[in-house]
């Protein structure tokens, strides 16, 4: 697989009223992602509540996404789990169904003790799907595993033949830039903080994975287009709309808040699973009012017309 350019949406889990997964909603989610100009979807990760799902549910979701995508967009399957044995089952399954890539976070209960230990763990996971590109998913804020990523690349390129790169979800742009330029840009380093997309573009990012791309992709694609055209002030002004939205979003638990936006856009994803809880009716109303004060929904619509 070539390096990924453009935006990958980290999609949200969909549930029925009884709390079981709602596979029937996946085709319409995929259609929205295609129509919004996205390059792919990242499923069963943080926003997809991967750690809250059984591996059987995750496999069913992966199958539904691969089928619905039908090669129109890429499907990246997160296979991370606190058990490497379960990771390997998910990885092998993803390869079997034709996923475009797999990715895994570090174990988040018994944590890797060193870069070498982390690489050894990822190598075991990646080897279960040897013909599928593998991305290490670095998200220290959630896993508590923050190690030097250049050291990781140096050791991982030896032990992980199918290493494609890193899903880099951290604000350390200097290290991100170093990873982009390691071995003359050998690896695909996908940026993971939506509200910092423009700064990431400035240091060389070409591809990004994020949750808010699920409902605001046109806004970010406009940022990328303006930046590519050298219209830096306009790109910054457009990025600020995303920043303002995120500043409202983080006043609430981020995943439930984003699920509420999806509902505002007509996608009833159902209630998230404990310990996550949906916004209350008042919180949802207050949040919607705040977004409307920012004219967020109209700004996204206008951006859609320009890309």
Q: Are 303 and 222 in contact (CB under 8 A)?
A: yes
Find all residues with CB under 8 Å of 121, minimum gap 6, and list them: 84, 106, 107, 112
First to last CA, the chain: 26
Q: Are 148 and 175 in contact (CB under 8 A)?
A: yes
Residues forming the active site: 137, 167
- The whole-angstrom separation of Cα 118 and Cα 112 is 5
Q: For 54, what's the count of Cα atoms within 13 Å in the CB-facing half-sphere? A: 6
Q: For 71, what's the count of Cα atoms within 13 Å in the CB-facing half-sphere? A: 1
């Amino acid at each position: 697989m070539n390096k990924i350019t453009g935006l990958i949406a980290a999609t949200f889990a969909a549930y029925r009223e009884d709390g079981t997964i709602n596979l029937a909603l996946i085709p319409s989610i995929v259609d929205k992602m295609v129509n919004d100009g996205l390059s792919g979807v990242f499923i069963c990760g943080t926003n997809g509540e991967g750690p809250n799902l059984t591996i059987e549910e995750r496999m069913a979701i992966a199958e539904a996404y691969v089928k619905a995508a039908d090669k129109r967009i890429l499907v990246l399957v997160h296979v991370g789990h606190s058990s490497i044995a379960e990771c390997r089952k998910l990885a092998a399954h993803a390869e079997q169904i034709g996923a475009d890539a797999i990715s895994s976070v570090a174990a988040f209960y018994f944590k890797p003790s060193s870069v070498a230990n982390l690489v050894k763990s990822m190598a075991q996971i990646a080897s279960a799907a040897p013909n599928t590109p593998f991305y290490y998913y670095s998200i220290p804020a959630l896993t508590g595993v923050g190690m030097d990523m250049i050291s990781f690349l140096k050791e991982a390129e030896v032990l992980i033949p199918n290493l494609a790169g890193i899903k880099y979800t951290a604000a350390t742009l200097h290290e991100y830039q170093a990873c982009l330029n390691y071995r003359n840009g050998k690896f695909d380093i996908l940026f993971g903080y939506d509200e910092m997309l423009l700064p990431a573009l400035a240091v060389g990012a070409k591809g990004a994975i994020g949750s808010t791309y699920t409902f605001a992709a046109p806004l970010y694609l406009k940022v990328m287009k303006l930046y590519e055209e050298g219209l830096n002030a306009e790109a910054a002004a457009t990025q600020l709309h995303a920043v303002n939205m995120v500043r409202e979003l983080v006043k609430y638990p981020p995943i439930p808040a984003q699920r509420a936006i999806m509902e505002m856009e007509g996608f009833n994803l159902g209630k998230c699973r404990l310990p996550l809880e949906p916004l209350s009716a008042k919180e949802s109303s207050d949040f919607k009012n705040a977004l409307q004060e920012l004219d967020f929904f109209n700004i996204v619509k206008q951006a859609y017309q320009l890309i």
